[in-house]
Chains A and B, each alone.
Chain A
Amino acid sequence: MSYLRLERLEKTYPGGTRAVDGIDFSAEQGEFIVLLGPSGCGKTTTLRMIAGLELATGGKIHIAGREVTRLRPSQRDIGMVFQFYALYPHLSVRDNIAFPLRAAGLDVAETARRVLAVAEQMGLGRLLDLYPKQLSGGDQQKIALARAIVRRPAMFLMDEPLGTLDADQRLAMRELIRSEQLDSRVTTVYVTHDQEEAMSLADRIVVMSQGRIRQVGTPAEVYDRPADRFVAMFVGSPGMNFIACQVSSMQDRLQLVSEQGQLRLDVPLVEPRGGPTSTSAVLGIRCEHVHEDGDGPIHGRVLTEEYLGSARLVHVDTQCGRLVLRSGATTSLGPGSAIRLRLDAAQASVFDGATEVRL
């Protein structure tokens, strides 16, 4: 039985804005779930309803087999970490971490022992006697995390905890959060708009948009088999390439012809979900599955290149529209160069032209 379960959960604000529009998902004990989506998609509202900071206007929340939909936050046994550190400035790091234990009435010796254990585990030992204003943003955020961990809550809720950090600190914190969670196996729900963060942390990702769930799946499922065009665009850096096509024949395979006819592709339908609702379709292909090939069917010109250190993104204008391919870091093509491309059709996704849902 799942540890956290949301059923038809809704949040409608007094003005009529529907922030969360009837969502269902569940998390297993020990699972790391990331709610991913652009700003305004309802992910933070969902998290706040799980925490009890907002009351649902419809649906139910179950934690550990108990319905908590109308319970207060303090009755839910949840540890929370938010984007802003919210440390007590007048307390030392040691006292900040100890705060929730003292508030819970734990005895002095046990409090000291647990604070020290968490600090050592997180490499914060040398910071214990400093005050928040003496610390970098990254260290402050680590203290906030330590304060959540020390309580040993039954569940963690995190709302963009890396939002305010510099890039190098984000990566270090990401690994810290992941390794702490792997060690403790505390069920975690984590909110972010950063798809890379989501992919690197999650056991499963819940992709949201406009108050609804677009897809729930492992990072590989969401990346390789996006449920619709929105997910395909939002996940991945860059998002998928899209080519508008006409469906010329369909059975268990789909024959596609690009709009100007220069590209013909035969794509197997792995799990046919019923035929397309229109004769138009959109082919989606990731940049690493577009290859430079002197005999390739697509002709184009290099628009610009982005060097990324470990790879290069080449933006190409073609008769099928703009395509981005990922190539080795060391071979450079100048803007304006002619280029021919081939797609790895076995790796393609096909979306219905009208509904934009995966076929």
Chain B
Amino acid sequence: MSEREAGGTVGVGARSGAVPFLAARGVSKRFGANQALEQIDLDVAHDELLVVLGPTGAGKTTLLRTIAGLERPDAGRIVVEGRDLTGLSPAARDVALVFQNFSLYPRWTVRKNLEFPLRAPGRNLPGAEIRRRIEWAAELLSITRYLEREASRLSGGEMQRVAIGRAIVRRPSLFLMDEPLTNLDAKLREALRVELVQLRRQLATPMIFVTHDQTEALSMADRIVVLSEGRILQTGTPREIYERPVSPVVALQLGQPAINLLRVRRQAGHWLGADGTPLIAAEDAGPAERVLGIRPEHIALDPDPGSTSAEGVVRIVEYIGPTTTLLVDWAGDRVHIVVPRRAALRPGDRVRPRIDATRAVLFSPDQRDGLAEAAHGGALARASLHRRDPDCSAHRASYHPTEEVP
């Protein structure tokens, strides 16, 4: 098999058979002219970290707020363990929300901040139980030594730990996290994303984690929901979505540098690039024009100096630790290639790229889905700008995989 169709599942993607912890069905929400959420169906399993990934304005936060009860959907239902929550107040839902901006009381001590949700009217927890829970949470999050410190005197990372602590002391049945790591610096984000995953596993409580950061999504998620303009484009494990994106828009959401998207046409058993360079073998079926998606790490450089494969010219060399990223003019296009670190390459060097055909994904220019059209226009315009393609409008056609692989 020299090529593979893009595949995967769109929509619910529940784990087979099991009754989900939370089920959203047909959830829609409109703000004026803006359709923030449109017919959202999603499931969260009992012991799962579900990441909702999408760019600014995709509807991620609205979805989270709707599940929390802070927004009322115009249509659809949210069911938790068989109970319809749609009309219930936030307080009646037993969910805990953590926001991007920590939202602590700055003049209060850490202990008082942690106590606050436990002292809410109607909770009636005995003092000893409150103390026990605070000590348990502080221990888990390594903030015990800050307990008597004023919140305003903590660093950003410590504040976010306290905010997470305030969510876990309640022992909610569901965690909702709205970009909790976004305001932290890079080193702290790296450490906290591992801590959060472990903490959630320890608590065995489901979590919905909203982010626009693809590294967080890939590294933390059990499953990812890709959201764009209020609709779900694909649901799957990080690997499924990374390796088998259902559309160029999804493909562009994951991976850094982004996947290469090349317009190809079939001739004499090969897919040819924009300048006629044969890229990979083609089967004699289906449309003669496609968009070929290939991740930068799946293009190798042919070391054989006698090779007859087409040459490219290196434009930019980015050295990033264990790998080197190249921007190469090749086959009438501009492609990113990630190679293991090696003898220095410089701008202007000639190289012979070779696509790993087993990793290529083919998308078909097929205008059968209005959603695809709307969403792809924006993302492909971005992608083509990126390549400094003067003919932006040519990319505004929409692409969609012709078949889905089960």
Tell me, rounded to whole Å, the shortest Cβ–Cβ distance linking A304 to chain B: 6
Q: Does A310 contact B (CB under 8 A)?
A: yes
Mask, A141-160, CB within 8 Å of B = 1, is 00000000000000000000
CA distance A251 to B327 in the complex (A): 45
Tell me, rounded to whole Å, the shortest Cβ–Cβ distance linking A243 to chain B: 18
Do the beta carbons of B385 and A172 come within 8 Å of each other?
A: yes
Q: Does A168 contact B (CB under 8 A)?
A: yes
Q: Which of B198, B215, B323 contacts A304, CB < 8 Å?
A: B198
Q: Which of A199, A220, A303, A306 contacts B219, CB < 8 Å?
A: A306
Q: Does B382 contact A (CB under 8 A)?
A: yes
Tell me, rounded to whole Å, the shortest Cβ–Cβ distance linking B44 to chain A: 19
Tell me, rounded to whole Å, the shortest Cβ–Cβ distance linking B317 to chain A: 9
Segment at the A interface, from B86-94, B109-117, B250-258, B281-289: B250-258
Tell me, rounded to whole Å, the shortest Cβ–Cβ distance linking B321 to chain A: 5
Q: Does A333 contact B (CB under 8 A)?
A: no
Tell me, rounded to whole Å, the shortest Cβ–Cβ distance linking B78 to chain A: 28
Segment at the A interface, from B21-29, B128-136, B187-195, B228-236: B187-195
Q: Does A105 contact B (CB under 8 A)?
A: no
Do the beta carbons of B194 and A167 come within 8 Å of each other?
A: no
Tell me, rounded to whole Å, the shortest Cβ–Cβ distance linking A160 to chain B: 12
Q: Does B392 contact A (CB under 8 A)?
A: yes
CA distance A313 to B194 in the complex (A): 11
Residues of A within 8 A of B325 (CB): 200
Q: Which of A166, A194, A220 contacts B56, CB < 8 Å?
A: A166
Q: Does A346 contact B (CB under 8 A)?
A: no
Residues of A within 8 A of B242 (CB): 307, 309
Q: Does A326 contact B (CB under 8 A)?
A: yes
Mask, A40-79, CB within 8 Å of B = 1, is 0000000000000000000000000000000000000000
Mask, B324-356, CB within 8 Å of A = 1, is 010100000000001000000001000000000
Q: Does B108 contact A (CB under 8 A)?
A: no
Query: If A194-B186, A239-B187, A307-B239 touch, does A200 touch B198 (CB 8 Å cutoff)?
Result: no
Complex interface residues of chain A between 172 and 189 (CB less than 8 A to chain B) = 172, 174-175, 178-179, 182
CA distance A313 to B190 in the complex (A): 11
Q: Which of B238, B255, B315, B385 has the most CB of A within 10 A?
A: B385
Closest B residue to A235 using CB positions: B321
Closest A residue to B193 using CB positions: A306
Q: Which of A199, A234, A309 contacts B254, CB < 8 Å?
A: A309
Do the beta carbons of A308 and B388 come within 8 Å of each other?
A: no
Do the beta carbons of A307 and B238 come within 8 Å of each other?
A: yes
Q: Which of A38, A123, A237 contacts B321, CB < 8 Å?
A: A237
Query: If A168-B258, A175-B327, A178-B316 touch, does A38 touch B219 (CB 8 Å cutoff)?
Result: no
CA distance A286 to B323 in the complex (A): 13
Q: Does A297 contact B (CB under 8 A)?
A: no
Q: Does A5 contact B (CB under 8 A)?
A: no
Do the beta carbons of B212 and A167 come within 8 Å of each other?
A: yes
Q: Does B105 contact A (CB under 8 A)?
A: no
CA distance A309 to B258 in the complex (A): 11
CA distance A267 to B98 in the complex (A): 47
CA distance A126 to B325 in the complex (A): 29
CA distance A335 to B388 in the complex (A): 44
Residues of B within 8 A of A174 (CB): 318
Do the beta carbons of A309 and B319 come within 8 Å of each other?
A: no
Do the beta carbons of B255 and A310 come within 8 Å of each other?
A: yes
Q: Which of B194, B318, B320, B322 contacts A306, CB < 8 Å?
A: B194
Q: Does B37 contact A (CB under 8 A)?
A: no
CA distance A220 to B252 in the complex (A): 29
Q: Does A106 contact B (CB under 8 A)?
A: no
Closest B residue to A172 using CB positions: B386
Q: Does A288 contact B (CB under 8 A)?
A: yes
Q: Does B55 contact A (CB under 8 A)?
A: yes
Do the beta carbons of A167 and B213 come within 8 Å of each other?
A: yes
Complex interface residues of chain B between 9 and 32 (CB less than 8 A to chain A) = none
Q: Does B369 contact A (CB under 8 A)?
A: no
Residues of B within 8 A of A236 (CB): 321
Q: Which of B185, B213, B219, B316 contacts A313, CB < 8 Å?
A: B219
Query: If A234-B187, A304-B198 touch, does A166 touch B212 (CB 8 Å cutoff)?
Result: yes
Residues of B within 8 A of A38 (CB): 185, 187
Do the beta carbons of A220 and B187 come within 8 Å of each other?
A: no
Residues of B within 8 A of A310 (CB): 255, 295-297, 323, 338
Residues of A within 8 A of B255 (CB): 309-310
Closest A residue to B347 using CB positions: A182
Closest A residue to B315 using CB positions: A179
Complex interface residues of chain A between 279 and 294 (CB less than 8 A to chain B) = 286-288
CA distance A29 to B132 in the complex (A): 63
Residues of A within 8 A of B79 (CB): none
Tell me, rounded to whole Å, the shortest Cβ–Cβ distance linking A332 to chain B: 9
Tell me, rounded to whole Å, the shortest Cβ–Cβ distance linking A35 to chain B: 15
Do the beta carbons of B322 and A288 come within 8 Å of each other?
A: yes
Q: Does A39 contact B (CB under 8 A)?
A: yes
Q: Does A219 contact B (CB under 8 A)?
A: yes
A sample of 23 cross-chain residue pairs with beta-carbon separation below 8 angstroms, ordered by A number, consists of A39-B185, A167-B213, A168-B252, A171-B258, A172-B382, A175-B318, A179-B316, A193-B186, A194-B186, A195-B186, A196-B186, A199-B319, A201-B318, A237-B186, A238-B190, A286-B321, A288-B321, A304-B197, A306-B219, A307-B218, A307-B238, A309-B238, A309-B255
Chain A interface residues toward B at CB < 8 A: 38-39, 123, 126, 138, 166-169, 171-172, 174-175, 178-179, 182, 193-196, 199-201, 219-220, 223, 233-234, 236-239, 286-288, 303-304, 306-311, 313, 315, 326, 329, 335
Chain B interface residues toward A at CB < 8 A: 55-56, 185-187, 190, 193-194, 197-198, 201, 212-215, 218-220, 238-239, 242, 252, 254-258, 295-297, 315-316, 318-323, 325, 327, 338, 347, 382, 385-386, 388, 390, 392
Pairs A-B, 7 closest by C-beta atoms: A306-B219, A200-B318, A288-B322, A172-B386, A310-B297, A123-B388, A309-B242
